[in-house]
Amino acid sequence: MHIPDGFLDPVVIILTYVLLVIYGVFAFKRIKRTLNTENTPLVSVLSASIFAAQMLNWPIPGGTSLHFVGGALAGVMLGPWLGFLTMFIVLIVQCLVFHDGGITALGANSLNMAIIDVLVGYAIYRLTVKTFKSKDPPRMLAAFLGGWLGITIAGIACGLEIGYSQAFPYGVSITVPIMAGWHAVLGIIEGTITALTVAYLRKRAPHIIFAER
């Protein structure tokens, strides 16, 4: 899902950077209030774990791949603001140190993976848990749906960004269904890993799951 340099038009680049800055300023105020000596190590370790998990590209015969993204997991575990910080640390290190994701696309990549994926994952988890109000199986379903829908909607956003860029010869009528369909399928793996991780954490350290509060 990391968009490289050369894919996005200046208008899309500027628009996505502006959205990132506006959201980042808003998030920064919340992060300043919530970040403390207890949750800072969680942000750091979760960032490192997601970075490592993203290095495990599962190649798919035919020349493509899938990897765990982790935005929804970050949202469920740490909430929308610290989840954003967690994913943004991963993305900025990938971009600046390894050129994984373009510098011109950092706004778009952050919008997709650090904002949309995190927010959707968090919101769906909360909504599902509140709807069912009972114990483990619905919570696993909530985490699965959060992971699955988070990555699918982030894929749709990615389709919009490249579809509205003239550098890309196909418009949104093609890019959005392809990105949505592809990510809806890959999202089953994302949802499963998110659900298993949340289930494990609920058993071992339930107090650290922000979306349960």
Binding site for another protein (CB under 8 A): 1-7, 35-37, 40-41, 43-45, 47-49, 51-53, 55-65, 89-90, 93-94, 96-100, 102-103, 162, 167-169, 182
Q: How far is the CB of 167 from another protein (least distance, A)?
A: 7
* Contact of 42 with 28, CB cutoff 8 Å: no
Nearest to another protein of 48, 188 (CB atom): 48
Q: How far is the CB of 135 from another protein (least distance, A)?
A: 26
* Contact of 109 with 90, CB cutoff 8 Å: no
Q: How far is the CB of 41 from another protein (least distance, A)?
A: 7
Nearest to another protein of 39, 128 (CB atom): 39
Nearest to another protein of 26, 58 (CB atom): 58
Q: How far is the CB of 50 from another protein (least distance, A)?
A: 9
Q: What is the CA radius of gyration of the chain?
A: 17
Nearest to another protein of 29, 135 (CB atom): 29
Q: How far is the CB of 35 from another protein (least distance, A)?
A: 5
The span from the CA of 7 to the CA of 132, in Å, is 42
* Contact of 19 with 109, CB cutoff 8 Å: no
Nearest to another protein of 53, 189 (CB atom): 53
* Contact of 75 with 121, CB cutoff 8 Å: yes
The span from the CA of 208 to the CA of 213, in Å, is 9
User: What is 92-124 written as a DSSP string?
Assistant: HHHHHHH--S-STTHHHHHIIIIIIHHHHHHHH
